[in-house]
Chain A
Amino acid sequence: MIEELHENKLRFLEEQAIKIRELIIEMLLEAGSGHSAGPLGMADIFSAFYFHILKHNPQNPNWEERDRLILSNGHICPVRYVAMALAGYFPIEELKTLRKINSRLQGHPHRTSLPGVENTSGPLGEGISQAIGMAISAKLDKKNYHIYCITSDGEHQEGNIWEAYMFLGKNQLSNLTIIIDRNYIQIDGITEEVIPLEPLKQKLESFGLHVLEVDGHNIRAFVDAVREAQSEWKRTSVIIAYTIPGRGIDFMEKKFEWHGKPPNKEEAKKALEELRTLQGKIISEHQ
């Protein structure tokens, strides 16, 4: 069971989220390519996962009883790599090798390259099905660990996702929780202009899923939603997390143009300044 979030832990998670954003910017600058908007938008949720929600052991990434965090939208892996490094899976220094030759940090995550990465992804639409397989396996083995699958919204245009939802409608797996990064952007524009997903909540409900909605930048609300999802013992829960792509960096926020490019030197400098002043603000708010 996930612990309740106390005030000082919440503050810690918020600080970690800012640290995650700073390291994302630094690592993308160093890499010279990669995705900015999605990872920044998911920093709060990854902070919540790696430092509060997940039952895991960074020193023993293959621990049998660990919760599984499946990343379906592999292109946001920078946020996962940073959270993993901060949690102690590997040295922070190694983040500089992102997308470089001979690195364990592949441009899109590769399961057997880096311990702690549960699935190979990048090609969209394939995560939920794999998570279902893991959830069925856990049930067969009578294991208590939980499976989380993070997906993105544009990704929901893939038919495979709906095949998986339809399967869940029949084979309810309550040891699986799906999180949708609802940031309203994809590569070619705004999701509702490319191929609309709305009314997303109703669609999911009509598939028989237990649907929750939450502000993806409110860590307390997110943790509560995950707790609520776990208390639902019959159905699979889907949490629609409303996020702001590029969150924390003014000139990146809500711009689909930042889906797949890294900041240049000046942009990174500006971004880091903004994050550092924001850090001051957030800490003082809670004092």
Chain B
Amino acid sequence: MLNPDIYLNQNIFNENIDQKPIRDGYGDALVELGEKNKNVVVLTADLAESTRAHKFAEKFPERFIECGVAEQNMAGIAAGLGVSGKIAFISSYATFSPGKNWETIRTTIIYNDSNVKIAGHHSGIITGPDGATHQATEDIAITRCWPNIKIISPCDYWEAKKATLYSAEVYGPFYLRFVRDKTPIITTEKTPFNFGKIEIFWISENPQLAIFATGHLVYQALLAAKELKEENIDVLVLNVHTIKPLEENKILEISSQVKGIISLEDHQVIGGLGSAIAEVLAKKGGNIPKLVMLGLQNTFGESGTPDELIKKYQMDKEAVKLSVKKLISS
């Protein structure tokens, strides 16, 4: 059942569940931050509305910086701001930032320890019809390898908002991963956001398996868990919003209780959440459960609707259910 202690949205399993774009959480949080803290500065590279930075731009024009289509320059300017007492949020699509400007960020923001928050939008194949060039599916891999970075991949609007607010409270580089389309609202305003923690969203007394999901796919994992329960299959669903630092102890604790683990991410399985979990398990060694990694399997995405794509690339609830059943019978 849904974890009763963390105020999850009780309508999750209704057909017409409320939906809201995850990126709106970023935009709304920026406006709140702008009001609270005069050191917050927001930058974009010709994508103000698409990244939802435009609301901040309207309210605080003097603290909004339009860089034009120039992601490297944006990163460098932010690096300068971030070591000068400002909290700089850079807003673009993740394929371009931290994609195109990766090394600039590495040197001037990460290694240089500047107070910059990198907002990567249009992550995942759920980006849809624009096609693979605009679907960021390696962004976790290319940021997770950096020292001195904190990475949050929120599961819905509320978590995105809380993650953005939180990132401003802590000095240093963050990578925040956002999604374009409307996605189901899983949590509520009251759901606690504990940075660095893996939260159990679906609990079972004697779980056979655990599903570690991140981002909007947490919803698919929950749907799968509920339908599996109806077939008397008990699983856990864990929401991994903090990709770095990863709560390794939690993964080890859960792994000792289950027969198998599934990771689920709208990202390449190479270098993403699945890899991160594999690293934790392999380092422990001994009697570790089998891991099935769901996500993009060493291929690029393509144009299509979000629903079609997560089905075709096997990230939807059916793919999760199938993997669970295979794992149990293996």
CB distance from A52 to the nearest CB of B (A): 30
Chain B residues whose CB sits within 8 angstroms of the CB of A99 once the complex forms:
129-131, 303-304
A123 touches B96 (CB 8 A): yes
B68 touches A106 (CB 8 A): no
**Smallest CB gap from B309: residue in A:** A101
* Chain B residues numbered 64-88 whose CB sits less than 8 Å from any CB in chain A: 66-70, 72-73
A101 touches B305 (CB 8 A): yes
A101 touches B312 (CB 8 A): yes
Q: Which of A6-14, A62-70, A155-163, A208-216 contacts B (4 or more CB under 8 A)?
A: A155-163
- Is A121 an interface residue, CB under 8 A from the partner? yes
Once bound together, how far apart are the Cα atoms of A186 and B46, in whole Å?
A: 8
Chain A residues whose CB sits within 8 angstroms of the CB of B46 once the complex forms:
154, 157, 186-188, 194
Would A188 and B70 be within 8 Å (CB), given that A34-B129, A101-B309, A123-B96 are in contact?
no
- Name the residue in A74, A107, A187 with the highest tally of chain B Cβ atoms < 10 Å from its Cβ: A107
* Chain A residues numbered 47-75 whose CB sits less than 8 Å from any CB in chain B: 74
> What class of interface size applies to chain A in its complex with B?
20 to 34
B68 touches A195 (CB 8 A): yes
**Smallest CB gap from B72: residue in A:** A159
B303 touches A103 (CB 8 A): yes
- Name the residue in B72, B131, B132, B303 with the highest tally of chain A Cβ atoms < 10 Å from its Cβ: B303
- Is A279 an interface residue, CB under 8 A from the partner? no
- Is A120 an interface residue, CB under 8 A from the partner? yes
CB distance from B310 to the nearest CB of A (A): 11
- Is A125 an interface residue, CB under 8 A from the partner? yes
**Smallest CB gap from B93: residue in A:** A123
- Is B302 an interface residue, CB under 8 A from the partner? yes
Once bound together, how far apart are the Cα atoms of A106 and B131, in whole Å?
A: 6
Secondary structure of the B contact surface, majority rule: loop
**Smallest CB gap from B47: residue in A:** A187
Chain A residues whose CB sits within 8 angstroms of the CB of B67 once the complex forms:
157, 195
**Smallest CB gap from A33: residue in B:** B129
Q: Kindly identify which residue among B68, B130, B305 contacts A122, using a CB–CB cutoff of 8 Å.
A: B130
Q: Kindly identify which residue among A32, A108, A158 contacts B70, using a CB–CB cutoff of 8 Å.
A: A158
A106 touches B303 (CB 8 A): yes
- Is B134 an interface residue, CB under 8 A from the partner? yes
A155 touches B69 (CB 8 A): yes
Once bound together, how far apart are the Cα atoms of A125 and B50, in whole Å?
A: 19
Once bound together, how far apart are the Cα atoms of A194 and B64, in whole Å?
A: 12
Once bound together, how far apart are the Cα atoms of A157 and B73, in whole Å?
A: 10
Once bound together, how far apart are the Cα atoms of A102 and B304, in whole Å?
A: 8
Chain A residues whose CB sits within 8 angstroms of the CB of B128 once the complex forms:
33
CB distance from A160 to the nearest CB of B (A): 9
Would A123 and B309 be within 8 Å (CB), given that A186-B69, A188-B46 are in contact?
no
B47 touches A188 (CB 8 A): yes
Q: Scan A30-47; emit 1 where CB is below 8 A from any B CB, else 0.
A: 011110000000000000
- Is A227 an interface residue, CB under 8 A from the partner? no
A187 touches B50 (CB 8 A): yes
**Smallest CB gap from B45: residue in A:** A157
Once bound together, how far apart are the Cα atoms of A122 and B93, in whole Å?
A: 12
* Chain A residues numbered 102-134 whose CB sits less than 8 Å from any CB in chain B: 102-103, 105-108, 110, 120-125
A101 touches B304 (CB 8 A): yes
- Is A100 an interface residue, CB under 8 A from the partner? yes
A154 touches B96 (CB 8 A): no
A194 touches B66 (CB 8 A): yes
Chain B residues whose CB sits within 8 angstroms of the CB of A187 once the complex forms:
46-50
Chain B residues whose CB sits within 8 angstroms of the CB of A158 once the complex forms:
69-70
Interface residues of B, Cβ cutoff 8 Å to A: 44, 46-50, 66-70, 72-73, 95-96, 99-100, 128-134, 302-305, 308-309, 312
Sample 14 A-B pairs with CB under 8 A, ordered by A number.
Answer: A101-B308, A102-B304, A107-B134, A108-B134, A122-B131, A123-B96, A154-B68, A155-B69, A157-B70, A159-B72, A187-B47, A187-B49, A188-B66, A195-B70
